[in-house]
Amino acid sequence: MAKQLDLYYYPECPYCQRVLRAIDAHGWKGITLKDIHKDAEADATLVRVGGKHQVPCLFIDGDPMYESLDIIDWLTKEFA
Ligand SMILES: N[C@@H](CCC(=O)N[C@@H](CS)C(=O)NCC(=O)O)C(=O)O
């Protein structure tokens, strides 16, 4: 079964833009975008589950992964 992938981000964040560019460039599909500046519940979930208020953060089946380069590496392998 496909994994649930949720990317917590906000558009002005350059590290988020790096991840979004990679998603766009590779055409990776099925990643739900959660803008924490527009979605207060997502903002709270990020801190409650992830433990820190930092974006980008990719939730993989509910488990948070921080760091833009780690996220891109993981997605590259997942979508290979
Ligand atoms: N090394 C991290 C840096 C991430 C980072 O510094 N994100 C900033 C936004 S650009 C952040 O979340 N700052 C805390 C905040 O906005 O509350 C990465 O590459 O993902």
Residue bearing the CA closest to ligand 1, atom 1: 67
Q: What is the pTM of this model?
A: 0.98
Pocket test for ligand 1, best of 55, 67, 69 (most atoms within 8 A of CB): 55
- CB of 13 closer than 6 angstroms to any ligand 1 atom: yes
pLDDT of residue 1: 85
3-state class of 3 per DSSP? coil
Q: Would you say 57 and 64 are in contact if contact means Cβ atoms under 8 Å apart?
A: yes
pLDDT of residue 34: 98
User: What residues in the chain have per-residue pLDDT under 70?
Assistant: none
